[in-house]
Amino acid sequence: MRRNRTNPDEVFKEMLQAARELLAVRSPLDAELMVSDMVGAWWGRRVKGGDVEQVLGEGLVDYAAKAGTPASLTLLICLAYLGTARQGAKAEGAALAMMESGVARPGWADRVGAVKPTGCYVSRDAYGDQDTVLCTFAYSGQDRHALVLVVDYNMRGMARDAWVSSEVEKLLEQARAEAEANAMLTFHEIEPQQARALLDSAMRSTRESKPRPPVSDSYSAYHAFARSRLKALPPGRKRPAPLHSEAPYSRERRAMLAAEFLASDEAEHLSDRSAASRCADHIIDYGISQDFGRPLRVSPAKCETFLLTWLPAKVMLSPEEQEAMPHVLSAWSRFAARKSALPDRGLKATLDAIWEAMATFPEAYRDPAALGLDRALLERLLPDGDLSALARRLFAFPPLPGADDLNPADPADRRRLLAVDHGGELDEQHLAWHEEIATRLWEGDPPEMWEAAQRLLDLGHDREEVLHVLIEIVERIGGDPEELATALDDIAEIPDEF
């Protein structure tokens, strides 16, 4: 859901009614989990008027403060611990004022958030695909519980799943038993500082992902609880590098790695050496840009994601590269497995996954030339090979008769193209604004601009109407990137004056 059109006061009223159940719970843990689930209802959503945590989160604090009931006080006490920094400060101030006025609170309220860590552990797979981090806590030695987060390195190191369990010993025994039975798994204790650094980074990666990240159904319900529990872990470490992390790759080192691969026994059977070289460059680029600088890490999940998701969305391949890519990826996997000492069992599973993906790859990868676009035009629109930019660049600079000699990648040609696009009827100032919007769309800066344009196009508005709405917003907002992104997010329809 892109926007929430419900009256916020109606939402707050329902939440305050639900908060009455807090008066019946017996422990701070139950209360914290209940409120975390409650505020998770708006996690990752967009609302008109600003940041959702400000509009709804801080709005709920203000609404609860005005209510002045035992249920609203209990909710505020939990929000003081579970909320964002701004929400927490406001909730704490309001709760103190209500307590001074004599509003009653449950006996366990003083223990909300008063936990200490009792151990941190990580379960890892030999591929380096993911870490399952398990942190245990207790209230003065009582009510011990475990917070579990799954960090997925095939999703840019995002935290994609979270849950809480009170059966701590059973959970630890199960993790140890799985590692003992599976040579592809390890399980060991880690320092609390290391756990915090890893999970802080993972949750930040999830939070900053656009569009809304593909997390589990339970992640939003436990998000506030997890965020607050991490604050109970001691800081003091930078984010630890993922398993099998490589040293930084310079351009020279990338070239040397590609040359080593092409000269290896694993690549000996590749017949089109030129296409194989370009394919190897794409594989290396993916490992460096999307996998924490680890081109030599291979796994079934990583290879499938690369072949069936990333390539079709991001890279314009030549017909020769399309033909060669699955075979080059198989050869690369053998080469990388030897270099990284991946067990034979892991290599076999990876090659099996590539083999299965080979049948799907021709369907997943749609050559844009097959859509009727001239190859020369594609090369002008995608000099960087970024296939994900094609739609917005075509919108900004559509094909024009008689303008084949003008290159939209060249800033010097852009204004001439825009003048041709509008029949030479625009004055210099208006043409400059069109150039501003076209350049932003070309660069994808900010990404919210193309998102807003697509929403308006989907509603049936024509290209010229959409461009003028974007010009009006940029002209009105100016250069503040956050305000511009917010204003673009708020556009759901073209105003009547347009």
What pLDDT score was predicted for residue 422? 84
Which band of pLDDT confidence, cut at 50, 70 and 90, is reported for residue 275?
very high
DSSP string, 81-101: HHS-HHHHHHHHHHHHHHHHT
Among 129, 147, 239, smallest CA distance to 185 is for 129
| Predicted TM-score of the model (pTM) | 0.82
- How buried is 381 (Cβ within 10 angstroms: 0-12 exposed, 13-18 middle, 19+ buried)? buried
Per-residue pLDDT of 40-96, as tens digits, reads: 998 888 777 667 888 899 999 999 999 999 999 999 999 999 999 999 999 999 999
- H or E, element range at 134: strand 130-139
Mean pLDDT, rounded, of the chain: 91
Among 226, 224, 206, smallest CA distance to 214 is for 206
**257: helix, strand or coil:** helix
What pLDDT score was predicted for residue 4? 42
Among 120, 383, 354, 369, smallest CA distance to 229 is for 120
Q: Is the pLDDT of residue 109 over 80?
A: yes
Per-residue pLDDT of 303-316, as tens digits, reads: 999 999 999 989 99
What pLDDT score was predicted for residue 19? 94
Per-residue pLDDT of 335-363, as tens digits, reads: 999 999 999 999 999 999 999 999 999 88
The owner of tokens 């109407």 is 465
Percentage of residues in the chain having pLDDT higher than 70: 95
Domain segments of the chain: what residues? Answer: 8-111, 116-230, 251-366, 376-489
The phi-psi region of residue 244 (left if phi > 0; otherwise alpha if psi is between -120 and 50; otherwise beta) is: left
Q: In what order do the strands lie in the sheet with 158-165?
A: 158-165, 142-152, 130-139, 116-125, 185-189
Average pLDDT of 193-209? 93
How many of the other CB atoms lie within 10 Å of CB of 82?
A: 26
- Beta strand 185-189 with 158-165: parallel, antiparallel or unpaired? unpaired
Q: Is the pLDDT of residue 240 over 60?
A: no
* E strands, 226-282, in order: none
The phi-psi region of residue 119 (left if phi > 0; otherwise alpha if psi is between -120 and 50; otherwise beta) is: left
What pLDDT score was predicted for residue 497? 56
Per-residue pLDDT of 3-16, as tens digits, reads: 344 578 888 999 99
DSSP 31: H
Per-residue pLDDT of 411-428, as tens digits, reads: 889 999 999 998 877 788
Which band of pLDDT confidence, cut at 50, 70 and 90, is reported for residue 262?
very high
